[in-house]
Structure 1
Amino acid sequence: MKKVAYSLLVFTVIISVLSCKNETKSNESSEISEETNELALAEKETETTPDFLYVTASSGLTLREHNNLNSEKLGVMPYGTKIKVIAPEDEETMTIGGIRGAMHQIEYNQKTGYAFNGYLSRFFPPEEDIKAKIYADDLKGQFPGVSFTETSGGTASKPTNTETLVLPTDKWHEVFYIAAELFDIPKSFAYPNPKGSNEETVKEKDPKSGTWTSQLTVNRKNNNLEKINYDYRTEGYGYSVDILQEGNKMKLERTEMAD
């Protein structure tokens, strides 16, 4: 009888120990799961709100003391400057040059102030004279959704070469400034206002000598951009640049041809 009672006691102790271990593992698993979820959320927030952005305004972007356009100027940030975002403003509160946006709080040159986010981009701008393929390869390290293709066509007497760059963004103004730098759209052409006639053609006011055609054609529908085309022609040579939206991505295409 004593042996039976002793066996029951041992069995009870073993069950209790195993139960405690399982409960501990369950708690540890729960804590790990919560930590994983927190890390995933943190990574997602980092993707949607980058810590650094780049200035795309060719003439530079003004840093202001407060978040309005009448505030005192603290300085001008040159094209391509990398700035740190302190507090982003996601709600669009103003329109400048046809671009909807707001004022981000940023840090630049050891100063904290505000700048219009319509002239800020998460894509670092192309360096002068950089090849489109090299620029695309550089971007892919940070943005896997970037793609680049190059194709040849035309005829033996009139060959063509087309470079296509696809960027993971739906912001027209963001890619317009990249296209201008990468695909030789003259800086004198301002970003087209989305509001306007269904088709508008603007000629370059002071083209370089020997230019036959240098013009920007804008297609709109219901005051939204549908296509931006730049066309350049001179004796024996020409190229065109198309900017189009495809779903949640933007396509930039430059076709070079011999006339």
Structure 2
Amino acid sequence: MMTTVNPALHLARVRETSPLIHNITNFVAMNSMANVLLAIGASPAMVHAREEAGEFAGLAQALTINIGTLSPHWVDAMIEAASAAQTTGTPWVLDPVAVGATTYRRQTARQLVALSPTVIRGNASEIMALVNQSSGGRGVDSTDAADSALDAALQLARQTGAVVAVTGEQDIVTDGQRLARIEGGHPLMPKVTTLGCSLTGVVAAFIADAEDIFAATVAALDGYAAAGERAGKDAKGPGSFSVAFLDALHGLDAGALSGRHLEIEHV
């Protein structure tokens, strides 16, 4: 049995509501992630102090946590924010950057997974590392293709109740019962730092107030891929691509996403 997702409908909701997205992300990603969220139509906030992270998470429509540049004080803030989101029912997205690289990252990720993330988004090596199927790639880079993490993604989704998004040349999204594959993007996207981190924020914007978290996650990834395709048409290299990508996100509309009705497989 197949169903479909219409990304344009989800994008329209983001643009209409401009959700406030609370981001605890890494130092490298803050600026680009904020710009990406503004371009898609959301309202970004970069709040990482432990003293206010939990309180602010209760004010936001969604939360993202990225473990890219960990420190003990930031980990405390992540735990408090995720705990607050769990208490209030605020959707939140975990980005387990380079989770397989060090013991500290694995321990932190386990603590955060225990706080019921709504979505877990990572590359194939990161998703596999979360279920102890690989070493977790080379730093922040994946050494595995997205499809190689399918079994791990299904296992992680069924264990945690989260929607799991594995991103790469082809993206896969599953909630343990449904599965979507997203094609698109552009080869220059991995050449621009923090575009993956910024995607986590876009996922959060799409799942804010969403009735179907799985469908909203699929729509977010597909819209991102569509923007990458459009940006790549004129870009001459990573620098011009970065600027063109922001413009493409800002210019996304129903017309740009027409025909991108994604088929959903039941597994």
Tell me the TM-score normalised to structure 2 length. Answer: 0.27
Structure number with greater Rg is 1
